[in-house]
């Protein structure tokens, strides 16, 4: 399996070109920012994956802006929601709006798309916090929201593995909002690490034999990481990648970058 990440114009090898972004935080101040590039996305990518925090505060008005931003794109869209998309406890309504415009919304579920003769399987969850071996979290302390996120991390990890296990695909993507590894958190204050992700998500990625894991949430983190089992992890948070989307190319046979 060969994987490369490049600016869209640099992608040239055959395979599946995966565009991804997280943390767009759609609100009136940024409405329309992504649309021009997204309308031309088929020139650079075969599919668009959205890794959560698509709205700023989870309002239905922001969801309308989001839908206007991504409606009628020339490639399939697969998404998970993030914590901000649930801020007003309207995540189910936002999910319905997205599915209404043709977005494949994953929540402990998976989908297989056939692109360029290759079966691309994507399993998705929001994920949660829970900490890492060197940065453990404490689910007994903090706010109610904090405790809920700490409990959700391991639960969503199990759901992610189960979803990955259902896939019969050539390429298997684990899509989530919260981080599965510490590598992609570098740049964030270490005291925040336990709240930014969960080690159990990485264990699910490895056990589910994923080809690539994508996440967001860590705005000040690092793009590149890897699980203990060697699966590449990419933080596609918009503030990290610095452009409307980043493209990764995946091929089922070894290849050399141009």
CATH 3.40.50.300 fits 2-251, yes or no: no
**pLDDT recorded at residue 142:** 74
**pLDDT recorded at residue 137:** 79
Cα Rg, the chain, nearest whole Å: 17
Which residues are CB-neighbours of 80 under 8 A, at least 6 positions away? 50, 51, 52, 105, 106, 107, 124, 125, 126, 175, 176, 177
pLDDT digits (tens, 9 = 90+) for 46-69: 999 999 999 999 999 999 999 999
Q: Which residues of the chain have pLDDT under 50?
A: 1-2, 5-13, 254-258
**C-alpha span between 93 and 109 (Å, rounded):** 18
Helices (H), the chain: 35-39, 60-70, 91-100, 144-165, 193-196, 199-207, 238-241
**pLDDT recorded at residue 235:** 99
Angle between helices 199-207 and 144-165 (to 10 degrees): 10
**pLDDT recorded at residue 145:** 82
**C-alpha span between 216 and 43 (Å, rounded):** 24
Give yes or no for a contact between 112 and 78, defined as CB atoms under 8 angstroms apart.
no
* Main-chain dihedrals φ then ψ at residue 157, nearest 5 degrees: -60, -45
Q: Where are the domains of the chain?
A: 2-251
Helical (H) or strand (E) element with 14: none
DSSP label of 63:
H
**pLDDT recorded at residue 141:** 73
pLDDT digits (tens, 9 = 90+) for 192-222: 999 999 999 999 999 999 999 999 999 999 9
């Amino acid at each position: 399996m060969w994987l490369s990440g490049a600016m869209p114009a640099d992608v040239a090898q055959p395979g599946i070109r995966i565009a991804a972004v997280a943390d767009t935080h759609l609100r009136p101040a940024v409405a329309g920012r992504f649309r021009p590039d997204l309308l031309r996305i088929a020139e650079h990518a075969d599919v668009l994956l959205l890794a959560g925090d698509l709205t700023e505060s989870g309002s239905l008005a922001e969801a309308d802006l989001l839908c206007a931003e991504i409606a009628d794109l020339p490639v399939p869209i697969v998404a998970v929601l993030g914590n901000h998309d649930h801020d007003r406890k309207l995540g189910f309504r936002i999910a319905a709006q997205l599915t209404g415009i043709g977005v494949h919304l994953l929540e402990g579920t998976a989908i297989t798309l056939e692109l360029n003769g290759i079966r691309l399987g994507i399993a998705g969850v929001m994920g949660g916090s829970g900490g890492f071996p060197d940065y453990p979290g404490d689910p007994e302390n903090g706010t109610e929201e904090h405790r809920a996120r700490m409990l959700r991390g391991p639960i969503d990890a199990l759901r992610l593995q189960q979803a990955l296990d259902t896939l019969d695909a050539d390429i298997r993507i684990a899509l989530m909002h919260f981080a599965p590894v510490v590598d992609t958190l570098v740049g964030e204050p270490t005291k925040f690490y336990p709240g930014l992700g969960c080690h159990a998500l990485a264990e699910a990625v490895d056990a589910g034999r994923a080809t690539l894991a994508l996440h967001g949430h860590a705005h000040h983190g690092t793009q590149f990481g890897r699980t203990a089992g060697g699966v590449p992890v990419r933080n596609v948070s918009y503030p990290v990648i610095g452009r409307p989307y980043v493209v990764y190319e995946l091929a089922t046979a070894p290849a050399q970058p141009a």
